[in-house]
Amino acid sequence: FFYLVSGGSGLLPGTSTMAFLPAPRAALSVLVPGEAVVHGARGAWVSRGAGDGAAVGLKEVHDSQSASREIEALRLLKGSRNVVVLHEFFWREDEDAVLVLEFLGTDLATVIGEGGVGVAEAKRWMVQALSAVDECHRNMIVHRDLKPANFLVSDDGALKLADFGQV
């Protein structure tokens, strides 16, 4: 659910600036405004860490309970090869959470919709999907929303499970 788009205002919906985003505590040091993106019912944004210019996905979560569950799950799964990386998170003044996530260019639903996948790649991705689910279960996490749109695909073809708000 993170798509890099060209252009865009760089603004979060309902705001005139991204000034309310405080500097993250650790790895990214400073976020600079990026492109606004929307996918389905979710809003997400792409920004860049000022230090290395690497793209990161910003996911706003309006429900504090869902945000807390997602943060805790991603903390437990830190280091899992087939789970999206949570770099940082912070709470906005309106009590929404903003998760700073690894940026991944597309999701499995989009890839399938754009013409499908070959047998070899389908087998490789099935192993990766099962690896992600196995890692969740080893950490006593039940994802509860496994679907192609929640498996993100990196530029190098790695499949990573995302969207842990329903765990």
Which is the catalytic residue, given 63, 94, 134, 145?
145
52 assigned to active site: no
Q: How many CB atoms neighbour CB 83 within 10 A?
A: 26
| Cα–Cα separations (whole angstroms), residue 103 to 1, 57, 140 | 9, 5, 26
Q: Are 16 and 71 in contact (CB under 8 A)?
A: no
Burial 27-53 (b: 16+ CB within 10 A, else e): ebeebebbbbbeeeeebbbbbbbeeee
Please identify every residue annotated as catalytic.
145
